[in-house]
DNA sequence: CGACCTTGTTTTAAGTCTTAAACTAAGCCC
DNA sequence: GGGCTTAGTTTAAGACTTAAAACAAGGTCG
């Protein structure tokens, strides 16, 4: 594997990327600030930012007086340079959002999916239609869209074209990227597992900001995790890393829908928690029309019901052990607890969860970690998906759509 | 933190590193081969290898006829350019080995440590003495030693100077690097957790060769893992990642020496296995003078004893669940089972372990992984430690000891 | 045995890139 | 206006890679 061919031109690409990323994440900055932050010389900063401005990627953003000297010109990424679309493909519906390049939301389109096992081609058609709807609603040209990120359930195998494996909904090797492409969507597509896009959103805009080793633990009907190592979402050899929900935590324990026993998901997934609560109530159904309402009922009942308290305490225990496993294996700086069930439980239980984690984790790694609640909520899958094309842009340091005025690749 | 490759000189460093690494791992190669393998132009290969040869890092290694053309000159890393030392600091003794740059072992020095909790200063003195002994035995100048790698029990926090945390032997924040330095060892020191150095050894010379996502699972008295992601040993935010032994696998289960309950180590560590066996025998002690002998007795007894068979089957089950957790979380290409207990058990149980892993892991990641036995045995800690200075050399592409004839850093 | 072919390695000339240093720009203060 | 300070640009030099040409060293074959 030839380690990324290194010619003198790659240096320019790399520096474009560094400067563009710094501007994106650390807001408007003067050329001087950029020089200080990146370690590049003032000459290079001037040269490269000039090129970026020529390409329309960067614009000036006002002046700042510097006491007794020439005022600084602030630069920032041009929010109008392009738009991006993020799609959240859930089991019951599709949410599509359109953003400018600064990831300010401009349009939202919701679409329900028919109940039952979704047909891949049908899903692709719905995705394509809602992407077009979002673009039209925003009054943007399709050519102006940098890329479309799609967060999907299940594992996304990143080959020449992305393929989705989702045992739970009966998708085994669905070539979803090709299917969407076949529906006539022209901008670049970026498919990724929804938990990972949600994790990416927390990293960029939520509780993960500033840290480079983070695990975003997501509790909903299912249980998953997005593992961030050295600032990047960890994928493993075939993109299916982070399947925290199906790690064994009670050997030989409760059966899990994956076919195994004792999985974490069977204990702290919404279904598992509610099932345990139902048993604690002597088999009586939990009030509430769906899992979400039922879980809220459980949390609210904790004040007056010993059974509810016990179930929640046990949940904190299991969850703490599960989190401790993450702490021991990944040694992160931060654990972010999210997902609708995670937020509902965490709001009440966080201290007890921390206590249980401390009891199960080794002292040294536990001493390095803080456990926090997610800031964005489960709706963040779409923004997270929209970050994917932006991340690609920042990494290249150039807009892949236009043939290079300057430093981009030609081959 | 400005990412590295920013000036035009870094390109040279990077290419030196690429070429040197390729020569190191893929044996003697002609300049032509190097050009093909690295994607660098023939001109650059010629230029850079010339420089490397001038620095004494690379030497010619014979000719090879090419049918009908100029014969190729083979190049290889010069094994005589420098020597490296690897030290394995165990709980009962220290093994020190000296290698040439091709990591061929030239000398071995063993030293016992007094029983009981080891005193850090004393250990440092023993390390220094045995390093000196190994150097002297080999008849090498201390200046000729590129570096000394030291594999230690516990977590190594890599700061300005390495600090060791090892709960088990009562080391809390021992500045071992400084202590060894104070004993008058002058070459660069590289401290790392012993499990991680052993994992590195398997990656370079054992069952991990060629793969980039591997978990090396080590079973001995303790249980640990070295996690390799994208070719590098994963450390986490403070180097204590990979504490697989203390992940919870039976919530509320057997007490573990770490103070928690239900840790994997309590079930599949040598002590845990033997304890379960003793109970299965109605409390009678297991024959054998130490854990190693007792475990061998257990494995041998499987043919005739139902109790032994049952204990081993259960062990395979627990271990399979533990390995499945690694598979689900890290999605590796390969799991390497090692450590003295791992090898003793794995020789008999591998099929049953695979079966149990399959039962607990998700289909998709399990389909991507193969489970193999380690090839090197537990003695590999020292070689693994010795790879550390070599890895540093390959990464720099230049010998840090000598002031640059050419492309090395000056600051 | 010498012209010609093949393959490997080195030299040459061109082009890209960063940087230090000199230089220009734009404000304040007296 | 002259000095002073800070921001940003231009210039000249040096480091690198590369394609192409040149050179090296063997074989083949008439």
Q: What is the pLDDT of residue A62?
A: 86
The answer to whether the Cβ–Cβ distance between B38 and A248 falls below 8 Å is no
CA A398 / C1′ C24 distance in Å: 30
Q: Say what the pLDDT of residue B71 is.
A: 87
SS3 state at A91: coil
Query: Does the beta-carbon distance from A244 to B329 stay under 8 Å?
Result: yes
CA distances from B280 to A39, A311, B277, B286, B346 (A): 65, 34, 5, 11, 21
Q: CA-CA distance, B134 to B157, in Å (whole number)? A: 27
- Provide CATH code, domain B82-199+380-396: 3.30.420.40
Dump pLDDT digits (tens) for A24-74: 999 799 999 999 999 999 999 999 999 999 999 999 988 887 777 788 999
Work out if A69's Cβ lies within 7 angstroms of strand C. Answer: yes
User: Out of B6, B238, B317, whose CB is closest to A11?
Assistant: B6
pLDDT, mean of residues A159-180: 91
Give pLDDT, residue A3: 44
Note whether B329 contacts A240, CB cutoff 8 Å.
Answer: no
Paired residues of A123 in beta bridges: none
User: Is the CATH number of domain A83-199+380-396 3.30.420.40?
Assistant: yes
CB-strand contact B108/C, under 7 Å: no
Least-confidence region, from A12-26, A189-203, B110-124: B110-124
Percent of chain A past pLDDT 90, that is, above it, reads 82
Whether B8-80 and B82-199+380-396 share one fold: the answer is no
- Bases along strand C below 7 A from a protein CB: 5-12, 15-22, 25-29
A259: closest CA of chain B, how far (Å): 8
The secondary element (H helix, E strand) that includes residue A273 is helix A270-280
Tell me, what's the pLDDT at A405? Answer: 43
Beta carbons of A329 and B329 less than 8 Å apart? yes
Q: Which of B's residues 35-64 have CB atoms within 7 A of nucleic strand D? A: 39-44, 47-48
Q: Does the domain spanning A211-373 belong to CATH 3.30.70.260? A: no
State the average pLDDT over residues B178-195.
Answer: 96
Residue B290: CB atoms within 10 Å: 9
Q: Is the pLDDT of residue A4 over 70?
A: no
The enclosing H or E element of A62 equals strand A58-66
Express each pLDDT in B21-32 by its tens digit: 999 999 799 999
The band of A2, judged by pLDDT with boundaries at 50, 70 and 90, is: very low
The H-or-E segment that residue A87 falls in is: strand A83-89
Q: Which residue of B has its CA nearest to A35?
A: B2
B37-66 residues near strand C (Cβ < 7 Å): 42-43, 45-47, 49-50, 66
**Which residues from the 133-152 window of protein chain B have CB within 7 angstroms of nucleic acid chain D?**
none
Residue-wise pLDDT for B196-207, tens only, equals 999 999 999 999
Helix (H, G, I), strand (E, B) or coil at A43: helix
Using CA atoms, how far apart are residues A90 and A36, in angstroms rounded to an integer?
A: 44
The DSSP output letter for A286 is: P
Sequence-distant (6+) residues with CB within 8 A of B49 are B19, B31, B34, B58, B75
B324 and A249: CB-CB below 8 Å?
Answer: no
| Predicted pLDDT at B35 | 95
The architecture that CATH gives domain B8-80 is Orthogonal Bundle (1.10)
Residue A266, helix vs strand vs coil: helix
Q: What is the pLDDT of residues B81-130, one digit of tens each?
A: 999 999 999 988 999 999 999 999 999 999 999 888 789 999 999 999 99
Residues 6+ apart with CB under 8 A from A45: A19, A31, A34, A35, A38
| A291-332 pLDDT per residue, tens | 999 999 999 999 899 999 999 999 999 999 999 999 999 999
B5 — pLDDT class (breaks 50, 70, 90): low
Burial code (b: 16+ CB inside 10 Å, e: under 16) for A209-244 equals: eebbbbbbbbbbbbbbbbbbbeeebbbbbbbbbbbb
Distances (CA, A) of B327 to A135, A178, B93: 40, 29, 34
Whether residue A407 has pLDDT greater than 50 = no
Q: Which residues of B touch A246 (CB under 8 A)?
A: 328, 361-362
Domain A8-77 maps to which CATH number in 3.10.450.50, 2.60.40.10, 3.40.50.2300, 1.10.10.10? 1.10.10.10
Mean pLDDT of chain B: 92
Q: Centre a 10 Å sphere on the Cβ of residue A306 and count the other Cβ atoms it contains.
A: 10
Answer for B411: CB within 7 Å of strand C: no
Read off the DSSP letter of residue A284. P
- Angstrom distance (rounded) from CA A127 to CA A89: 8
| Residue A89, phi then psi, degrees to nearest 5 | -90, 105
C1' of C23 to CA of A65 (Å): 22
Distance B104 CA to C7 C1' (A): 34
Mean pLDDT in residue range A260-272: 96
Q: Where are the alpha helices (DSSP H) in A101-231?
A: 120-138, 176-182, 194-205
Cβ(A213)–Cβ(A228) under 8 Å?
A: yes
Question: Which residues share a beta bridge with B165?
Answer: B155, B172
- Residue with the bigger pLDDT between B336 and B282: it is B336
Beta bridge partners of B99: B84, B105
CA distance B359 to B352: 11
Q: What does pLDDT average to over chain A?
A: 92
For A3-32, what is the mean pLDDT?
89
Question: How far apart are alpha carbons B85 and A394 in whole angstroms?
Answer: 43
**Residue B308, pLDDT above cutoff 90:** yes
Q: What is the pLDDT of residue B403?
A: 53
How many Å apart are CA B202 and CA A16, to the nearest integer? Answer: 39
CATH 3.30.420.40 fits B209-373, yes or no: yes
Farthest CA pair distance, chain B = 77
Q: What percent of chain B has pLDDT over 70?
A: 96
Q: How far is B172 from chain A (nearest CA, A)?
A: 9
Residue B38: both structure tokens together: 């690295």
Of B240, B248, B267, the CB nearest to A364: B240
3-state secondary structure chain B: CCCCCCCHHHHHHHHHHHHHHHHHHCCCEEHHHHHHHHCCCHHHHHHHHHHHHHCCCEEEEEEEEECCEEEEEEEEECHHHCEEEEEEECCCEEEEEEEECCCCEEEEEEEECCCCCCCHHHHHHHHHHHHHHHHHHHCCCHHHEEEEEEEECCEEECCCCCEEEEHHHCEEEECHHHHHHHCCCCCCEEEEEHHHHHHHHHHHHCCCCCCCCEEEEEECCCEEEEEEECCEECCCCCCCCCCHHHCECECCCCECCCCCECECHHHHCHHHHHHHHHHHCCCCCCCCCCHHHHHHHHHHHCCCCHHHHHHHHHHHHHHHHHHHHHHHHHCCCEEEEECHHHHHHHHHHHHHHHHHHHHHCCHHHHHCCEEEECCCCCCHHHHHHHHHHHHHHHHHCCCCCCCCCCCCCCC
Interchain proximity B167–A243, CB inside 8 Å: no
Answer yes or no: are the C-beta atoms of B28 and B46 closer than 8 Å: no
Name the residue ranges covered by the structural domains of chain B.
8-80, 82-199+380-396, 209-373
Contact check, Cβ <8 Å, A240/B364: yes
pLDDT in tens, B345-371: 999 999 999 999 999 999 999 999 999
């Amino acid at each position: 594997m030839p380690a990324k061919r290194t010619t003198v031109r790659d240096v320019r690409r790399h520096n474009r990327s560094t400067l563009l990323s710094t501007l994106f994440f650390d807001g408007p900055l003067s050329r001087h600030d950029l020089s200080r932050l990146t370690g590049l010389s003032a000459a290079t900063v001037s040269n490269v930012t000039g090129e970026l401005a020529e390409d329309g990627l960067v614009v000036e953003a006002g002046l700042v007086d510097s006491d007794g000297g020439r005022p600084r010109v602030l630069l920032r990424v041009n929010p109008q340079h392009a738009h991006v679309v993020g799609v959240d493909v859930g089991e019951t519906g599709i949410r599509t959002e359109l953003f400018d390049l600064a990831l300010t939301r401009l349009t939202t389109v919701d679409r329900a999916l028919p109940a039952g096992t979704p047909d891949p081609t049908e899903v692709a058609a719905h995705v394509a239609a809602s992407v077009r709807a979002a673009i039209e609603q925003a009054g943007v040209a399709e050519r102006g869209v940098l890329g479309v990120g799609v967060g999907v359930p299940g594992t996304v195998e990143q080959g020449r074209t992305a393929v989705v494996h989702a045992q739970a909904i009966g998708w085994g090797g669905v070539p979803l990227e090709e299917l969407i492409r076949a529906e006539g969507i022209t901008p670049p597509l970026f498919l990724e597992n929804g938990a990972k896009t949600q994790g990416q959103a927390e990293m960029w805009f939520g509780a993960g900001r500033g840290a480079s080793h983070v695990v975003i633990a997501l509790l909903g009907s299912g249980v998953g995790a997005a593992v961030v190592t050295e600032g990047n979402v960890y994928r493993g050899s075939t993109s299916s890393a982070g399947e925290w929900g199906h790690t064994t935590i009670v050997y030989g324990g409760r059966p899990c829908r994956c076919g195994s026993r004792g999985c974490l998901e069977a204990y702290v997934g919404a279904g598992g928690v509610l099932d345990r609560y139902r048993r604690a109530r002597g088999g009586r159904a939990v009030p509430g029309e769906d899992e979400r309402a039922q879980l809220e009922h459980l949390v609210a009942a904790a004040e007056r019901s010993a059974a509810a308290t016990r179930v929640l305490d046990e949940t904190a225990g299991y969850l703490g052990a599960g989190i401790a496993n993450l702490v021991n294996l990944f040694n992160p700086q931060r654990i972010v607890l999210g997902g609708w069930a995670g937020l509902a439980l965490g709001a009440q239980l966080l201290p007890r969860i921390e206590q249980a984690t401390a009891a199960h984790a080794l002292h040294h790694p536990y001493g390095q970690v803080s456990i926090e609640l997610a800031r964005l909520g489960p709706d963040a899958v779409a923004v997270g998906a929209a970050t994917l094309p932006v991340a690609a842009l920042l990494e290249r340091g150039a807009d892949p759509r236009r043939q290079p005025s300057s430093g981009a690749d030609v081959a």
